[in-house]
Amino acid sequence: MARLTPSALALALALPLGLVVTAGCGNDRIESGSLFEAPRGQAAQALRYPDAGLTVSVPKEFSVKAAAAPQLFRASLNEAFLSSFAYRREEQLPKTRAELRTARRRLVDAAKKRDKTWRLRSTRLTKVAGAPAIEVVGDQTIFMGRLRIRSLHVYKGNGEYVVELAAPRTAFRELDRASFPGIRRSLKVTGRVKKPKAPAKKIRSKKGPSKESSRDKSG
């Protein structure tokens, strides 16, 4: 596949997108700067998550926001978005072709059960950063509009890593070609996903009746 030039990337990212994607982020629409506003030599931004064992570079024009584990980030560009997750797994992860085929079938079945509007477009077994991986492309309806989503699942160590690109179907093809190959090439995983830090629990002291109130009642 030919590598797109920066001008081709700019064209793809400048496409008008007609669907407001609000899944997972309330009803806010996040606008982002144009590629032409990005400083020269900075067409991508590197994201690092040591506790999850993941690093990846995403196009500079995406507006990146941190997220709570297991999600690592959500990056928006008008109505398109990128997101990534790192799941700590206790069970053995797929390694062989047969195991990957079984995992692929489970991913597709889970997507269909989770959203009745979801329709499979394509799948493939692959490798990313030397680790076994599965790519799934599907369509689903969000707020009466059709969205296309490419979901990449990478298995290494104790981690299942997921990177997703979603956009309205009319814009997906160009955006996918312009951005996802670079994201895929830049993705690095260690296979060591740490347990998320539990928030501090609030301790409520159980106070009994005061001596004064006890005396008042007895009197």
Residue 147: inside a domain: yes
Share of the chain above pLDDT 90, in %: 65
Range of the domain at 95: 46-195
Residue 24: inside a domain: no
Mean pLDDT in residue range 132-137: 98
Which pLDDT tens digit goes with each residue over 144-197?
688 999 999 999 999 999 999 999 999 999 999 999 999 999 999 999 999 887
Which pLDDT tens digit goes with each residue over 2-38?
333 333 343 333 333 333 333 333 322 323 333 323 3
Contact 169, 139 (CB under 8 A): yes
Q: In terms of Cα–Cα distance, which of 17, 8, 24, 3 is closest to 77?
A: 17
Residue 17: inside a domain: no
Q: What is the pTM of this model?
A: 0.73
How far is C-alpha 161 from the chain's CA centre?
9
- Triad 32, 36, 40: Cα angle to 5°: 115
Residue 34: inside a domain: no
d(CA 106, CA 88): 18
Number of independent structural domains in the chain: 1
- Residue 40 pLDDT greater than 90, yes or no: no
CATH code for position 162 = 3.40.1000.10
